[in-house]
Structure 1
């Protein structure tokens, strides 16, 4: 399917009263905005078309649903009190915006040289990032918000699958709940993995929907990890970083790995 055809099909399904559509030809992005509140969702069409061609989603209706959920979330005021169990941390790259499009400051903490921790209210099929105004209107302090989010992420299940390549063991945490990468903030999980590995513990956070641990035994393990992190980074809906980390003395340190060759599967 050509980009123009793909765009037209999406636009035809996004005709709603009170919604405005605008297309940026240079960036190949489609903006869908709630005219009344002047907030909206921007969809990058080229990567979306590539995923469509790889059959990574079943129909264009999935894209439409994503837009609908996003606009619905923006149209309603976030209620934090009474919904404390739905507050979670989310990992983002340091290049992620510090403010909303309308200038409200988002709540975040520095995490590593490559990552930050933002805070979100889970809405079921989506979530909304929490800003300072929302936090204050709900009578919460930043400290309480963060404590609540970290407590909640520690309560999430930790389904892990493993794979062994050239003597190195790779562990993939994918719960498909939107907070897979957030589990890197669970100190007990990291310490448990550190006790489990036989070699060097490495961690990758390529995008928000996966967390990768690696028990590095030899040089091939570093090459494999670099390839995996880069591959996942390119496929993620919300990319974080392709740079892996070494876990030592309770800290994550970014490390540049120059892969010598593509590993055999």
Structure 2
């Protein structure tokens, strides 16, 4: 499927009477604007096309569902039907992710690693809304309070995971489908607990929003497996973050570059 085919398919399900379509070929992003509430969202096309190769119509339904939920949240916001008493969570994004909303308001953020940045979101049930400075001004809430609330919330998340072994290496997949799987990288207590059961090198990966992978890398092959795994998840994720992984040592996350023939380079070594 090509980008134009995807857009034509979306138009059969999301009428042009309600939505305005604007596709940017240079960025491969589709701008979808709801004409009634005069608000829009940007949709990255390549990840959807990649997932379509295996999931076919299912991925289209997932995208439609996401669009409906997002605009419903925007309608609630416009009607003043949301408030700061709702849950606030941190969300992880790439450092290339915009720092301002489409209206030009600065998002509430915090530096995390060289590859990732922390944003903050108001949970709306089936979707969430990134917080910006205008929202905080309206509520009369300080950024420090937002950060404190969010860390408390992420610590209370259920941390179910699946375990897999590949070539003598152990991988733990956190995929709870709650929208905050990557956010679990901010749960220091969880990372410390996982560190206790790790025998080899402990790696942490957040290739996209809906998965966190903790690796117990016990041999050189493990790094090759990790590189292929993270790149795959990064490619198919609806909200990709980074294909790089992090070494977790002494409570710190340090990006690593996995090169050919199992060579691992820490970011500080490359400089």
The answer to whether TM tops 0.5 is yes
Distance (Å, rounded) in 2 between the aligned partners of 1:46 and 1:244: 22
Per the TM alignment, residue 235 of structure 1 is displaced from its structure 2 partner at its CA by 1.2
Deviations 1:198-222 (A, max 9, x none): 1211111111111111111121112
Q: Which moved more, 1:4-13 or 1:142-151?
A: 4-13
Q: What SS does the corresponding residue of 2:180 show, helix, strand or coil?
A: coil
State the SS of the aligned residue for 2:21: strand
CA–CA distance in structure 2, aligned partners of residues 13 and 226 of structure 1: 37
Aligned to 1:51: 51
Contact 1:7 1:45 in 2 (8 A): no
Larger helix share, 1 or 2: 2
Give the secondary structure class of the aligned counterpart of 1:221. Answer: helix
Which one is further off, 18-27 or 225-234? Answer: 18-27
Aligned-pair CA distance for 1:89:
0.5
Equivalent position SS for 1:117: strand
Q: Where does structure 1 differ by over 6 angstroms across 4 or more consecutive aligned residues?
A: none
- In structure 1, what is the equivalent of residue 154 of structure 2? 153
In structure 1, how many angstroms separate the alpha carbons of the residues matched to 2:202 and 2:210?
Answer: 20
- Residue 189 to residue 231, structure 1, CA distance change in 2 (3 Å): same
The answer for the alignment partner of 1:234 in structure 2 is 235
> Offset of 1:182 from its aligned partner?
0.3
Partner of 1:67: 67
Where in structure 2 are the equivalents of 1:207-218 lying within 5 Å? Answer: 207-218=208-219
Deviation per CA, 1:100-131, whole angstroms, max 9, x where unpaired? 01100000100111111100011122111000
1:132 aligns with 2:133: yes
Name 2:20's counterpart in structure 1.
20
Shift of 1:17: 5.0
Q: CA RMSD in A?
A: 2.1
Q: Which residue of 2 aligns with 1:143?
A: 144
Cα pair distance change 1:124/1:9, threshold 3 Å: same
The 3 A distance-change label for structure 1 pair 226 and 59 is: closer
Q: Report the secondary structure of 1:143's partner residue.
A: helix
Partner of 1:33: 33
Give the match for residue 187 of structure 1. 188
- Indicate the residue corresponding to 2:249 in structure 1: 248
Deviates more, 1:14-23 or 1:95-104: 14-23
Specify every segment of 5 or more residues in structure 2 that has no aligned partner in the other structure, as ranges: 263-271
